Structure 1
Amino acid sequence: MRILVSGSLAYDRIMSFPGSFADHILPDKIHILNVCFLVEGLEEKFGGTAGNIAYCLRLLGEDPTIVATAGKDFAAYEAWLRHCGIAIDGIRRVNGEFTAGAYITTDKADNQITGFNPGAMKHRADYTVDEADPAQTIAIVAPGNLEDMQDFPRRYKAKGIPCMVDPGQNITAFSGDQLAEMLTGATYLISNDYELELIQNSTKLTQAEIVERAGTVITTLGEKGSVIRQKGSEIAIPPCPVAEVKDPTGAGDAFRAGFVKGLALDKPLDVAARLGSVSAAYAVEKHGTQEHAFTWQEFADRYAAAFGPLK
């Protein structure tokens, strides 16, 4: 099964501040704010929605194609993807830009100040799907370049390629009409519960109307699991037990990878969502979005322990 994963590629540059931001910000001087935080080193990790989803799919034994853009500093990330056995032929290089990057500083109270440079993500991937076989292709459109997020669903729908639309953190960048077009006719719409409410508010569509348009709506609920809604039905999916929550960042992308793996195996939707729950559990047990690892046998054993044998 060919799996197309469009979205972002990004470096996550993580810094730790040993004090408290609040001690260095004077409330009566906010209008002339000028602060400097001396951090304790910097960690660089690989991230971005497309990168995270593709990484998990590769762990699950699939051969995904990343459809995204990267910049002139992509060499380290490229080497990592090659090491993981992930194809890079769908990645467009934009030599005049840096690869998208998040600069995250966290203080001792877990408050965060983040700067995000979209860099190469400002440019479209320019990827063609003309040769894709609808019967052998699944696509997921994750947050990334805004034009790609609107255009790829149109192209997938036109070719009859099953498509999962995931507007995620870019929901507020689209108008209600644009969101409505993206989800209408999509095979799946996936979001967390807060994002689903944002979609409803923006489109002025009820939850039932969104289900009517999208066909299948998957809503993740964090530690409460997920729910699958189709016309006339609603299935609650429990979470997979987690040994220790170290970093929830990337759990959503891991869930999506597990769900898509279930689709590639032609499993029922509830089984696909349980696969997503197990994949997410691995992600939250490690710091970073591409730090966890497992074999398929380890994954299947964990699935069996949580939900019974994988059939």
Structure 2
Amino acid sequence: MGIAVTGSIATDHLMTFPGRFTDQLLADRLDRVSLSFLVDQLEIRRGGVAANISFGLGLLGLRPVLIGAVGSDFEPYRVWLKQHGVDTDSVRVSTELHTARFLCTKDRAQNQIATFYAGAMAEAREIDLGSVIRRTGRLSLVMISPDDPEAMTRHTRACRKLGIPFAADPSQQLARLDGPEALELISGARWLFTNEYEAALLQERTGLTQQQILNKVGCWVTTHGAQGVRLERTGHDPLAVPAVEVPGAVDPTGVGDGFRAGFLAGLAWGVPEQHAAQLGCAVAATVLDYVGTQEYRLYRDSLVSRLRMSYGPECVAHLTAHLRELT
């Protein structure tokens, strides 16, 4: 099953200020703020939703096709992704703009001041899905994740025109979309991914009820954090999959992307969707053990142990054969 993942590719620049932002703000001068914070820690992490999902798929032994736009500074990141099984040859490289960046400074009270620079991501709208297919061959699924809104619309239309099944994951971009735009992105999707808040926002944006949205997609997958995942489709009882318990979680960033990677891998292997969701939850739990979205590793024994303890031998029986390539 050939899987392409479209969406954001970015780097995160995370800084720590040892004081409190509020101590530097003057109540009678808030109309003219000019401040500089001397930070004592900087972490640069690889990120972007499409890159994170592709990384997870690569770890699981698939070779996903990553589709997005970056700057000329992308080369070290490209090497990293290729080393972890990702096909990056369809990534567009801008000649003028830098790769998207998320810059965030937090203080000791966990307050944050953040800026997101879209940069080259704006050029994703120039990518032609047809040319990707001519290079890679027929795709079995295209995962359309948060990206330049025009790019998301173009890829969705291309999937419909070419008859390629697609998964819709508008998530962070829902805040920018109006009702008709959101509706176009999800209508006809084989899979729709949201978290609990985004599910409510999608209904508000489109003016549709939950059932009306369900009627427009194949299966709606809603993540509920520590409460697990819920899969719904018209004419079937909802399927609830509990999360894998993670005592002392380290960092929640990228957990949803890890779930999507595991779930899509399970679908690619042809296992029942319940077990695909269970694998997604186990990968998400592994992401929680690490700081950063692409710092985790998947080891066969620990992953199988998590699956067995959380979901029992039936789940393991369906998945073990597909995990043999893991170390």
Partner SS for 2:222: strand
User: Equivalences for 1:52-71 in 2 at 5 Å?
Assistant: 52-71=52-71
The answer to whether the 8 A contact 1:59-1:296 is kept is: no
The answer to whether the 8 A contact 2:55-2:85 is kept is: no
How far the C-alpha of 1:203 sits from its partner, in A, is: 0.3
User: Equivalences for 1:1-311 in 2 at 5 Å?
Assistant: 1-124=1-124, 126-129=127-130, 130-131=133-134, 137-232=140-235, 233-309=237-313, 310=316, 311=318
The answer to whether the 8 A contact 2:62-2:85 is kept is: no
Counterpart AA for 2:277: A
Counterpart AA for 2:42: L
Counterpart AA for 1:244: G
Q: 1:138 to 1:298 in 2, by over 3 A?
A: farther
Q: How far apart in 2 are the matches of 1:121 and 1:56?
A: 21
Partner SS for 1:74: helix
Q: How far apart in 2 are the matches of 1:26 and 1:282?
A: 43
RMSD: 1.5
How far the C-alpha of 1:285 sits from its partner, in A, is: 1.4
Q: How far apart in 1 are the matches of 2:162 and 2:36?
A: 52
Q: Tell me the percent identity.
A: 36
The answer to whether the 8 A contact 1:61-1:296 is kept is: no
How far the C-alpha of 1:302 sits from its partner, in A, is: 1.9
The answer to whether the 8 A contact 2:59-2:85 is kept is: no
Q: 1:297 to 1:161 in 2, by over 3 A?
A: farther
Residues 92-150 of structure 1 deviation map (CA, whole Å, 9 limit, x = unaligned):
1002110000001111122211111100001125133354766x612110101211111
The answer to whether the 8 A contact 2:61-2:85 is kept is: no
Q: How far apart in 2 are the matches of 1:156 and 1:133?
A: 14
Deviates more, 1:188-197 or 1:118-127: 118-127
Q: 1:25 to 1:150 in 2, by over 3 A?
A: same
Q: How far apart in 1 are the matches of 2:48 and 2:7?
A: 7
How far the C-alpha of 1:297 sits from its partner, in A, is: 4.3
Counterpart AA for 1:276: G
Q: What are structure 1's unaligned runs of at least 5 residues?
A: none
Deviates more, 1:136-145 or 1:50-59: 136-145
Counterpart AA for 2:81: L
Partner SS for 1:257: helix
Deviates more, 1:80-89 or 1:210-219: 80-89
Q: What are structure 2's unaligned runs of at least 5 residues?
A: 319-327
Counterpart AA for 2:123: H
Partner SS for 1:179: helix
Partner SS for 1:258: helix
How far the C-alpha of 1:261 sits from its partner, in A, is: 0.7
Q: How far apart in 2 are the matches of 1:284 and 1:222?
A: 11
Residues 211-250 of structure 1 deviation map (CA, whole Å, 9 limit, x = unaligned):
0111210100111111111113211110011132111110
TM-score, reference length from structure 1: 0.95
Partner SS for 2:188: coil
TM-score, reference length from structure 2: 0.91
Counterpart AA for 1:67: I
Counterpart AA for 1:31: D
How far the C-alpha of 1:5 sits from its partner, in A, is: 0.4
Q: 1:73 to 1:194 in 2, by over 3 A?
A: same
Counterpart AA for 1:237: V
Deviates more, 1:270-279 or 1:157-166: 157-166
Counterpart AA for 2:127: D
Counterpart AA for 2:26: L
How far the C-alpha of 1:165 sits from its partner, in A, is: 0.2
